[in-house]
Structure 1
């Protein structure tokens, strides 16, 4: 789930940007975190976070000195079914009565693994619990945006979260404790 957000860190995985640290911002209209889990062995259930914002400070000369931060309210979760959303927001899971319950990610390290790939380690705070997570990140494309006429980049990342580690383990193992997370974001230099 948190991830939420997070994919912006992918920018740190490549040498595609300026030679000095540059601040990039996520395009909230094209940044999503999709998660899924197994429901009682019968089906795979999906959810999503979208419309969030984040920031990357990217250093081409020293990618390990780059950083990413993302934060958004857990109540921005989309489940496709109102009763499921309300259950997730209840005391059984997040206990999120308003937008003060946040999902946050802050990178703590970057290991470049290929020309367009990296492992990005960071602290994910979910349900008031902070744990380290690793994102397997890929730069999908970097070039001038054909409609915006300025530099643009796309990134993807994946990770697996164990929900019981974030005090969200109700119904495990019948509802899978592992949650698969897929992140896709676009980013552009801040103006």
Structure 2
């Protein structure tokens, strides 16, 4: 066996090892990433027109869920659960009213849920989420438009984290919560500011 042949054989083995390593790396990069919603920085809000006087803004204080992203495959999923009795209008009396059967009926329906059916991407950045929103046991399709998306290592937790802002519009009467419409606007804007931490 010549020296040249031995060198060729050695280089071929090195090339095969390199291909194997690269293959593993690509597979690892392509794996879906799972992020758990950070409830301390995720408080969905909703706004509506109040008798034409003003735009009122309220929020929910308890949200859990997870986000799955596969940016290479341009796919993902979103699952969110909101405790309906965590609604915070800024007024204790109004909190009580909005939890009544006329609106959220939180005694009968303790959670509000959203589950995606499709995540759309531009490059490796998600731009919208199609899914089903369930309020008071009524499920309707709702599309979230993502207005910003950002991922980086969390400076305090030292873990990968992603955040996004998204909006959608719904009619509250579609969910049997239309009391006082149209004087209090039927249409509501949902505003989601979400932060999530990657699961190891």
TM-score normalised over the length of structure 1: 0.84
Distance in 2 separating the partners of 1:71 and 1:41: 31
Q: Counterpart in 1 of 2:128?
A: 119
How many residue pairs match? The answer is: 173
Q: Counterpart in 2 of 1:53?
A: 64
SS at match of 2:96: helix
1:90 counterpart = 2:100: yes
1:31–1:151: structure 2 CA closer, same or farther, 3 Å change rule?
same
Which one is further off, 157-166 or 116-125? 116-125
C-alpha displacement of 1:189: 1.1
Q: Which one of 18, 37, 42 corresponds to residue 26 of structure 1?
A: 37
Q: Deviations over 1:133-184 (max 9, x none)?
A: 0000144321111111121111110011110111111111000001111111
Cα-Cα RMSD: 1.8
SS at match of 1:156: strand
- Any residues of structure 2 matched to 1:64-103 within 5 Å, and which? 64=75, 66-97=76-107, 101-103=110-112
C-alpha displacement of 1:188: 1.4
Which one is further off, 82-91 or 126-135? 82-91
Distance in 2 separating the partners of 1:138 and 1:21: 22
Instruction: Give structure 2 stretches of 5+ with no counterpart.
Output: 1-27
Q: Counterpart in 1 of 2:177?
A: 168
Distance in 1 separating the partners of 2:186 and 2:68: 33
Structure showing greater radius of gyration is 2
C-alpha displacement of 1:60: 2.2
1:18–1:104: structure 2 CA closer, same or farther, 3 Å change rule?
farther
Distance in 1 separating the partners of 2:79 and 2:30: 21
Greater relative CO, 1 or 2 (CA 8 Å, sep 6+): 1
Give the number of the structure whose residues are more often helix, by fraction.
2
TM-score normalised over the length of structure 2: 0.80
